[in-house]
Amino acid sequence: MTRPRILATLALCTLSFCWPASAQDFPRQPIKLVVPWAPGGNVDITARAVAPALSDILGQQVVVENKPGAGGFIGTTGVVKAAPDGYTLMLGSSGSISVGPALARTAPYDPTTELVAIGPIHSVPMVLTASAKGTIKSYADLVAQSKNGKQPISIGSAGNGSSQHLALELLAYKTGMKLNHIPYKGSGPALNDLVGGQIETMMDQLTASIAHIRNGTIVPIAQTGNVRSPLLPNVPTFEELGVHGFDMVTYTGIFGPTGISQPVLDKLTAALKQALTQPGVKERFANLGVDILTLDRSAFQQYVNLDFANSRAIGKAANIVINE
């Protein structure tokens, strides 16, 4: 065989071998799962519930890495700019994928074009809570203090542009209550201050708040959703309290940078779907009061895009703009 033919044959063999191997052998190294919020919040709790199951299924460690800041923008932007090889993913949520970019005057990324959905995990209601060290023990107390108090009620959230931020602004818009928004770098730090009495109230996902509710350090006074969560059967929904059209629930899912090859995308989606059927994962989420989402990848992507559009509409109606 002549030298040119040998080189051509080797090149052909290399191409035919390496291309399918990139999908067949995936993953060949640990996968980074970025959480764009501080430890202790809904997204962090969710990531640490599914990461071990994904590690077992994929045969490589899935490492949770917290990158909080700027309402989820810092961690998410890092994922958007990462190589689309499947080794850098993120635990995305309503705040970082839908709400933040929808409310930002100049968003650093477009979630509908620069991120691709791997698959959904769960949806979760929000709960309005008060510090057990304070005087607010019910929604009626909150309304009365808002009307009679000299200062606006301090209310914490996971950060500017988070889904909690949108929810509390919408609550103020619908009810006329005076609320002083205190943004944090994630739910964990905000909950710490709520427990300590440094802030009076907080809007957050039930997943992050339930442990503090159970130990009595914070008091649940209202919840979103069409029906009461089984974990909070004695806490009324906002609809029951007369705040109509306030049915905000949040979603979580895994996302990656646009451009991940279809075979790798399919493998990741299948692994996530399998992880959500594991008894330990199902039990963990049941104890947190969430509903596991069973949408396929395409339907979930449509769900995310619609939530982004709805968040933008709410922000416009309530004149909510972040990073001005």
Report how far residue 102's alpha carbon sits from residue 318's, in angstroms, rounded to the nearest whole number: 13
Residues 223-237, mean pLDDT to the nearest whole number:
93
Name the band, by pLDDT with cuts 50, 70 and 90, for residue 150: confident
Report how far residue 110's alpha carbon sits from residue 257's, in angstroms, rounded to the nearest whole number: 11
Name the band, by pLDDT with cuts 50, 70 and 90, for residue 22: low
pLDDT at 2 over 60: no
Query: Which residues are bridge partners to 63 per DSSP?
Result: 32
CATH of domain 125-223: 3.40.190.10
pLDDT of 3: 53
Burial pattern 20-43, b for ≥16 Cβ within 10 A else e, equals eeeeeebbeeebbbbbbbbbbbbb
Global pTM reads 0.82
Residue with tokens 């650093």: 108
pLDDT of 301: 96
pLDDT of 21: 41
**pLDDT, tens digit, 9 for 90 and up, residues 62-74:** 999 999 988 899 9
Contact 143, 177 (CB under 8 A): yes
pLDDT of 206: 93
Among 90, 30, 86, 87, which Cα is nearest to 63's?
A: 30
The DSSP output letter for 180 is: E
**pLDDT, tens digit, 9 for 90 and up, residues 261-296:** 999 999 999 999 999 999 999 999 998 888 899 999
Name the band, by pLDDT with cuts 50, 70 and 90, for residue 161: confident
Q: Name the CATH superfamily for 30-124+250-317.
A: Bordetella uptake gene, domain 1 (3.40.190.150)
pLDDT of 314: 84
Work out the percent of the chain whose per-residue pLDDT is above 90.
73
Name the band, by pLDDT with cuts 50, 70 and 90, for residue 245: confident
pLDDT of 255: 98
Which sequence spans correspond to the domains of the chain? 30-124+250-317, 125-223
Average pLDDT, the chain: 90
Domains 30-124+250-317 and 125-223 share a fold: yes
